[in-house]
Amino acid sequence: MKGFVDHKKMTALALGLLLFLLPVPARAEVKLSAEAVPAVVAAGDTIEVTVKVSGKNMSVAEGVFTYDPLILTYVKSTGGASDGFLNMVSAEKGGTDTLTSRITFLAAGAGSAEIQFSVEKVLGYDGREQGSAQSSVSFTVAAPLPTPAPTPLDYAAGGVLARNVKGAGESMYIWRSLENVTLPSRYTENTLEYHGETVAAAEVANSDAPVLLYLSNAAGDKGGYYIFNAETDTLYPYETVTSVSKSYILLEPDGSVELPDGFTETTLTINGKDNIAWKARDAQGDIYLLYARNPDGEVGYFVYDPEDGSLQRFAVMPARPVKPELPSETAPAPAYTPPPSPPVPSVHDPQAESNISINGVLFYSLCGAAALMFILIAGFIVIRLADDARCRRRAAKRKAERERMKNMEIGQ
């Protein structure tokens, strides 16, 4: 019996030695590293962090990472990373010894930034777990450099002093470039010699449109285009008025332009700005004239309606009928005027008959011309009266439409 027990002990000892000598599967050591480039950034810059997992025949590495959102903002990533998570996968047969991801952050604020990474599960190609690992990376985000205040431009030094500027309460300067301003429609930038200095000018090629110069005060405020009259060496503000989808450039007439009779100069506010106008009054109310250039290049006086902003070419209107003035009852009766004495018959004279015949032909010619002139004048009056009637009808129609819209708004 004792021999049998010793035999069992020996057998167990041999089996233990055999198990000890058998090869044990090696468990690979998982390592995790992180690197930030650059190590120092300024707020507003981007930084790229490279995350590397090292092992043996790895197929999957899963984990997480954390950071301070007040300092860093996630932007993008590659290699299986997303915002706060790692899911790195190998597509190689047999797995890989290295898995890499790259994560891009935006430095949102100044301070010390630290990103902590943790790989919680790593699987080998054979499906066995290989362990876990942790790592972190730190870097500094510097405050952004203060933006230097821009040096204010001195247009008094860079521009050209403008002369004879109408309506300016301070010194105005002509700009030498129109690069930073918008050109009016159809205008292109050009240059102009102004009192020996080269300045920028806006012109319409192959056109008699007015030349525009851009003026401002020394600080650059109150800038705008001005019309330059080379003949009078004057500058006045460039203004336009739109009528029925057409744009008119307001001008100032020079001494060669005759003002129509019955109009006096005044100031008319259009688009919030005062402009020179001419005013008259008839039975229908005030009439305003503006001196302007229409889109067809025609320059002259235009009748302006302040109610709807429309403009029409001004033409001399025929005299409007006026109410006759009846004599008062106390007025003295007109004095009696005796009829003229009958002409004394003259002695027959053949030479006189010849003169009478010639004068008769001239008389009938004059009568025919007068009749033709009367027909032309009457036709012109009829046409003008018809135009006036149409204008009145259109005005009444517009007024009725405005009243209808107002009633509809009140009803709503």
Q: Is the pLDDT reported for residue 321 higher than 50?
A: no
Q: How far is CA 56 from CA 23, 124, 131, in A?
A: 18, 7, 11
- Exposed / middle / buried, residue 411 (Cβ in 10 Å: 0-12, 13-18, 19+): exposed
Same domain, 69 and 123: yes
**pLDDT of the residue at 316:** 55
**pLDDT tens profile 93-122:** 889 999 999 999 999 988 899 999 999 999
Alpha-carbon distance of 34 to 250, in angstroms, equals 71
Asked whether residue 87 is assigned to any structural domain, the reply reads: yes
73 and 88 belong to one structural domain: yes
Instruction: Quote the CA–CA distance of 137 and 140 in Å, as a whole number.
Output: 11
> Which residue is it, tokens 């009054």?
281
Q: Are residues 44 and 96 in the same domain?
A: yes
Domain that holds residue 391: 370-398
Q: 173-213 pLDDT, tens per residue?
A: 999 999 888 999 889 999 999 999 999 999 998 888 999 99
pLDDT at position 7, please? 56
Instruction: Assign 3-class secondary structure to 115-149.
Output: EEEEEEEEEECCCCEEEEEEEEEEEEEECCCCCCC
pLDDT in tens, 159-178: 899 999 998 889 999 999 99
Q: What is the mean pLDDT of residues 230-255?
A: 84
Q: What is the pLDDT of residue 341?
A: 56
> Among 313, 332, 358, which residue terminates a domain?
313
Does a structural domain hold residue 272?
Answer: yes
The total of structural domains in the chain comes to: 4
Structure confidence at residue 192 (pLDDT): 93
Cα gap 10→147, rounded to integer Å: 87
Same domain, 133 and 167: no
| Residue 48 Cα distances to 32, 36, 74, 78, 356, angstroms | 17, 6, 10, 11, 119
Residue 321 in domain = no
186 and 287 within one domain: no
- CATH number reported for the structural domain that contains residue 133 in this entry: 2.60.40.680
Examine the domain organization and report whether 94 and 78 are in the same domain: yes
Does residue 334 form part of some domain? no
Asked, for residue 332, whether it belongs to a domain, the answer is no
H-helix segments, 58-98: none
- Considering the domain architecture, whether residues 118 and 45 belong to the same structural domain is answered as yes
Could you say which of 142, 171, 191 is where a domain stops? 142
Per the domain annotation, does 12 fall within a domain? no
Mean per-residue pLDDT over the chain, rounded: 81
Kindly report the pTM of this predicted structure: 0.39
Percentage, residues of the chain above pLDDT 90: 35
pLDDT (tens digit per residue) in 336-393: 555 555 555 544 555 544 444 556 667 777 888 888 888 888 888 888 888 888 888 8
Length of the chain: 412
Chain position carrying tokens 């429609």: 185
- Asked whether residue 202 is assigned to any structural domain, the reply reads yes
Tell me, yes or no, whether 220 and 270 share the same domain. Answer: no
The answer to whether residues 122 and 186 belong to one domain is no
Residue 233 shares a structural domain with residue 206: yes
Cβ atoms of 179 and 202 within 8 Å: the answer is no
Domain for residue 379, yes or no?
Answer: yes
- DSSP structural state of residue 238: -
Q: Domain boundary at 238, 272, 288, which?
A: 238
Q: Is the pLDDT of residue 317 over 50?
A: no
**Interval 140-144 mean pLDDT:** 87
What pLDDT, on the 0 to 100 scale, is given for residue 330?
47
DSSP-derived 3-state class of residue 100: strand
Asked whether the predicted pLDDT for residue 315 surpasses 80, the reply is: no
Together in a domain, 286 and 377: no
Which whole number is the average pLDDT over 279-298? 81
Does 226 lie in the same domain as 205? yes
Low-confidence winner among 124-128, 149-153, 238-242, 321-325 (lowest mean pLDDT) = 321-325
% of the chain residues with pLDDT over 70: 78
Max Cα distance, the chain (Å):
203
